[in-house]
Structure 1
């Protein structure tokens, strides 16, 4: 356990948001309310597991006490283990037990989920078919039905246009290459394609590049707060 202030106030949850450009964390309460300022450092490139653990070991002591950890990770994860980490540039991630490693390094039990799914847990209404599309270094998705998380679809690596994957079509490299106007055309096209595919009731746009969205969005598409990438971590610990 983080020992600072331990025993004087209820310990919170260390919410960890792993991004391709930034590593972020904050302490939240059981309801998902942030009870600390957000800490952030640039993501090193490449970012093998040890570099990520070192970064969070440096940030965690600056925060209030926590007795649990919730990790949102940009890739396919299962049972506390990373299967893919396309935007961290390190093959060492395949099969890496990140939840156990983070728990051991920071001294508190940890749970791991895809980062788009963690953001979704912080913003969904719990009614109908709700989808999250994160726009950052790459593109992430999460799908919920009546508040229940559906099996993860790694659309980031699925072709969407001219053999380009969602990552290549919507990611930061596409934004920098094509410029804001053309990139927004890509976003609009994907919004339409996802609706044809899923007929979602609500689509939430998140991620660092959602601030660049400049479209007349349909009524069932909204831009969500990126704080949800941290506050959604509370849902990982509800029910014990």
Structure 2
């Protein structure tokens, strides 16, 4: 499907939307972002079919970077809470995407891929994504730290971060109450980590309407794609 080119197909897998674009080695987008709804149920073949259709419309690429919403390791999916872990556990997504699209692929957690497109490389920086669920990534002086699956850790009244901040909470409680949840989590994460900077990403970050501390900011959601360039750097 592809010919040799200095392009990376950046893939951002979400619980409600599947996105991709071709980026260069610096993370600059060289094609328009394309998005389709995430199929439900989203078994691996359905996801691969969706990306094969989107990739065919894009410029040539010779590598693939995949951001996936769950715990991933060594190119395989360990958990997929918003897509169905029972469908995905142990699936070698990097190899399968590579075989389907004809280019080598690398796989990382989606919040971590977004973080690579955001962080400054100075101090302790954290990314909190607000989407179907809640994702986190932690960097120290630009280096990615071991993944913490805070999304499934209790945060309030036995609710997990996913349940407290995810889209279901937003729809159930409304924007005002959900913003209170966001404010509370910002405070808790600072007590836990004393980050130098926290970035809020994900599709629902556009609904944040609270006064943010000086070391907290809302980041571009495009970083979920542009951060894919970092997966191919030394």
Tell me if TM exceeds 0.5: yes
TM interval, shorter chain, is over 0.9
1:25 to 20, 23, 44: 20
Determine the C-alpha separation between the residues in 2 that align with 1:157 and 1:78: 18
SS of 2:32's equivalent in the other structure is: coil
The answer for the alignment partner of 2:59 in structure 1 is: 64
Cα displacement (A) at 1:11: 3.1
1:185 and 2:189 are equivalent in the alignment: no
Unpaired stretches in structure 1, ≥5 consecutive residues: none
The answer for the alignment partner of 2:80 in structure 1 is: 85
The answer for the alignment partner of 1:226 in structure 2 is: 221
1:53 to 48, 57, 69: 48
1:75 and 2:67 are equivalent in the alignment: no
Cα displacement (A) at 1:210: 0.2
**2:70–2:79: 8 Å Cα contact kept in structure 1?**
yes
1:161 to 153, 156, 160: 156
- Structure 1 runs of 4+ with >4 Å offset: none
Determine the C-alpha separation between the residues in 2 that align with 1:19 and 1:216: 27
In angstroms, what is the RMSD of aligned CA positions?
0.8
1:96 and 2:91 are equivalent in the alignment: yes
**2:2–2:101: 8 Å Cα contact kept in structure 1?**
yes
Unpaired stretches in structure 2, ≥5 consecutive residues: none
**2:20–2:33: 8 Å Cα contact kept in structure 1?**
yes
Q: What is the TM-score normalised by the length of structure 2?
A: 0.99
1:170 to 160, 165, 171: 165
Cα displacement (A) at 1:195: 0.1
Determine the C-alpha separation between the residues in 2 that align with 1:42 and 1:90: 19
Cα displacement (A) at 1:90: 5.2
**1:45–1:89: 8 Å Cα contact kept in structure 2?**
no
Q: Deviations over 1:75-129 (max 9, x none)?
A: 0000000000000135120000000000000000000000000000001000000
Q: Deviations over 1:12-47 (max 9, x none)?
A: 000000000000000000000000001110001110
Determine the C-alpha separation between the residues in 2 that align with 1:218 and 1:183: 17
Stretch deviating more after TM superposition (198-207 or 86-95): 86-95
Q: Alignment length, in residue pairs?
A: 234
